[in-house]
Structure 1
């Protein structure tokens, strides 16, 4: 049996297709990212001000907040 018989053929020009999302998809995705980022940053500031518990939790929440906020902004404007 020929092993090349079942290989799918590449689609010509497939790399030139531009992926675009609709405006409501971009807005909702960006809003979710920004909301989660804001929530995480807010909780990190509350933990830091309280001084209770492990300070690494505040740092981890801060990093998570910055990452989600960046992802939300990227989703809104660049993706």
Structure 2
């Protein structure tokens, strides 16, 4: 039997054999993120915003994510309409 030790980034879950690589991964992620804005579509029947803006501690760094509803209802455990 062989013991295998790995290190895992606590933010994304990626596993590494080397501790320094896992620490570098953790340092590379943006932290203290906040939702800075939301845009809703008038046609959305599920209540989620179509666009979400996420801002970091640095005012010049933000990201915009577009909501896309999954069509595979089995992912949700059934049809919830």
Higher helix share: 1
TM-score bucket (shorter structure): under 0.3
TM-score relative to the length of structure 1:
0.27
Structure whose CA Rg is larger: 1
Pick 1 or 2: higher relative contact order, CA cutoff 8 A, min separation 6.
1
TM-score relative to the length of structure 2:
0.27
Higher strand share: 2
